[in-house]
Structure 1
Amino acid sequence: MVLLLLAPKTGGQGGGGKALTLTGFMVGWIFYGGLTLMRVVPRYREPPAWLMHFGIADIVLLGATLARRL
């Protein structure tokens, strides 16, 4: 749904800035999904403790994802 809101309303040459915004949003969303999966999927070695709870990694990824929209 968010991608549809971010997509340019007109096609053609005017969508260059929106393409960069959409790309940044998608990359941030994928990395945040990876961070979430890392927390819930079984693993052989335990990741660092600062990654296992809501903290600076979440704030940085969500901030980067949402900053592209503004």
Structure 2
Amino acid sequence: GIDESIDLFAPFMRQGNKSGVGLGLFLAKSAAEAIGAQITLTNREDGIDGSCARLVLPSKLCCLLPQR
């Protein structure tokens, strides 16, 4: 699981002794917010180790296709 008291979406934030720069979740949240979506991370509630990521897209999300 994750330490939910830490903002893992902050740039260059890593939990524990993990490798990487710490930009992946920051970029994911920035992209989600750019389209009006929400992204969250929480610990699993079923007693199994791990975490759950949730992406909620706005219902009015649309993509205009070019006319031929």
TM-score, normalised via structure 2 length: 0.31
Q: Which has the higher strand share?
A: 2
Q: Which has the higher helix share?
A: 1
Relative CO higher for 1 or 2, CA cutoff 8 Å, sep ≥ 6?
1
TM-score, normalised via structure 1 length: 0.30
